Structure 1
Amino acid sequence: MKKSTIALIDDHKIVREGLRQLIEKLGNYSITHEFENGQIFLDTLPFAKEKPDLFILDYSMPLLSGIEVLQQLEQRQDEEYKVLLLTQHLEEDIIESAYQYGARGFLHKNCSAAELKFCLDNILSFGYSNVTEILKRIRNYKTREENKPQNIRLSDRELHFLTLVCDERELTYEQIAEEMNVSVKSVDVYRNALFEKFQIKSKVGLVLFSFRNKLTAPFC
């Protein structure tokens, strides 16, 4: 069975070595690349050889923070990068920004080996981890002045699509198409329309947009 490949982006060598030893003991994983900061990582893109399946990115680094690395990755159209953000900070602002810019999951640096394995497995198998947790965080998050709901106009189909995206069942786009009784191509049209109108770049970005503007349950 082919091992899932992982890249580590952290400015502390001892942390990278510890992660390497731990991850390679956890299961069918192989650490194929290491970068001592986000700028060096970005300078290597795109990968000359096979791209790793997943990237573990430290939040606090010199030159560029983990969030700034995610922002630059979101601007690239050539590849998709599955990134797990590793951080000592679990403030809602940081988590929200991480997902806004395409992170697939986040973990506190004090997590257990079992929690790390769970997160890796979920991102590699399903594309995301921690989605249920971030939904709970956002629902309980006090709306800031700059995030007051806007006057958003959506078609009935777009709103139905957005409601299903925010469903706690964490439906895939194929499952959303079945729920809406339309083709997957039609769902792609709804998604791309929202992406274009509101400058959104990811599925979790849609969830954040919806909750920030109180467009779906539990706000209406």
Structure 2
Amino acid sequence: MTIRIMLVDDHPVVREGLRGMLAAEPDLRVVAEASSGAEALEVCAAAGELPQIVLMDLRMPGGDGVQATEALLAAHPGLRVVVLTTYETDRDILRAVEAGAAGYLLKDASRAELADAVRAAARGETVLAPSVAGALVTRLRGGSAERPRLSARELEVLRLVAAGCTNGEIGRRLYIGESTVKTHLLRVFGKLDVADRASAVAKAFTLGLLGD
């Protein structure tokens, strides 16, 4: 199956380079381009067939990639947006993830890394460059050595994990996308300072976050 991709970047030379890299992959096809978030919304609204993956620049004139990501996902919830940027500050990463981005890659990614990230995002996975993942977990860790504070939604997700639900089942029960479930879990892992689901549940029970 061919994965349909949209490129959103205000630099034509960047879009041309990305298009050339992706053209070498038989299962990937660039079907649309835009130079701004506003133009991306217009292109999607007029498209007969929506792209499945949007590769989104972070810094563009007339509104940044985070705002564009929020607007695109509000208008077309089925889209998967992967931020592709030269910036890897903690604040930028966190804003993009909170906006609903399915991934965050840096523009120095190789062709193979980019293609694999697009395929992973199309499968519903969250895609983060290794340096970005480390920065995000560090950023999300609570500064207090005492009991971490989880949001109501994070607790809902964690309770369902404790009940043995998969990410897909959690998404269906809470009426949210699987990528959103993964984002909530990533935040939980960071706040609890753990690396996996089982450790998160065990630590949450130890801290009394999930009751007795």
**With structure 2 as the length reference, what TM-score do the two structures score?**
0.72
Return the letter of the residue paired with 2:116.
F
Matched residue, 2:172 = 188
Q: Which runs of 5+ in 2 are unaligned?
A: 205-212
Give the 3 Å change call, closer, same or farther, for CA 161–113 of structure 1 in structure 2. Answer: same
CA distance in 2, matches of 1:126, 1:57: 17
* Displacement of 1:96: 1.7
Correspondence list, 1:43-62, <5 A: 43-62=42-61
Return the letter of the residue paired with 2:54.
F
* Displacement of 1:66: 0.6
Matched residue, 2:25 = 26
Return the letter of the residue paired with 1:84.
V
Cα deviations across residues 140-175 of structure 1 (Å, max 9, x unaligned)? Answer: 335469xx9547568x9754325689x9xxx5424x
Give the 3 Å change call, closer, same or farther, for CA 164–30 of structure 1 in structure 2. Answer: farther
Asked if 2 retains the 8 angstrom alpha-carbon contact of 1:149 and 1:213, the reply is yes
Of the candidates 169, 184, 193, which is equivalent to residue 206 of structure 1? 184
Matched residue, 1:119 = 117
CA distance in 2, matches of 1:57, 1:72: 12
Is 2:31 the partner of 1:36? no
Correspondence list, 1:146-161, <5 A: 149-150=148-149, 159-161=158-160
Return the letter of the residue paired with 1:38.
G
Asked if 1 retains the 8 angstrom alpha-carbon contact of 2:150 and 2:188, the reply is no
Correspondence list, 1:173-184, <5 A: 173-174=168-169
Query: Alignment identity in percent?
Result: 22
CA distance in 2, matches of 1:113, 1:91: 23
* Displacement of 1:106: 1.5
Instruction: Please give the root-mean-square deviation of Cα atoms over the aligned residues, in Å.
Output: 3.5
CA distance in 2, matches of 1:21, 1:151: 43
Return the letter of the residue paired with 1:173.
G
Cα deviations across residues 99-139 of structure 1 (Å, max 9, x unaligned)? Answer: 11111111111111121112112112344323987664444
Q: Which runs of 5+ in 1 are unaligned?
A: 177-186, 196-200
* Displacement of 1:214: 4.0
CA distance in 2, matches of 1:104, 1:64: 19
SS at match of 1:70: helix
Matched residue, 2:85 = 87
Cα deviations across residues 164-206 of structure 1 (Å, max 9, x unaligned)? Answer: 89x9xxx5424x6xxxxxxxxxx733x34xx7xxxxx922442
Return the letter of the residue paired with 2:123.
S
Return the letter of the residue paired with 1:79.
P
**How many pairs were matched up?**
192
Asked if 2 retains the 8 angstrom alpha-carbon contact of 1:59 and 1:65, the reply is yes
Asked if 1 retains the 8 angstrom alpha-carbon contact of 2:148 and 2:192, the reply is yes
Give the 3 Å change call, closer, same or farther, for CA 126–151 of structure 1 in structure 2. Answer: closer
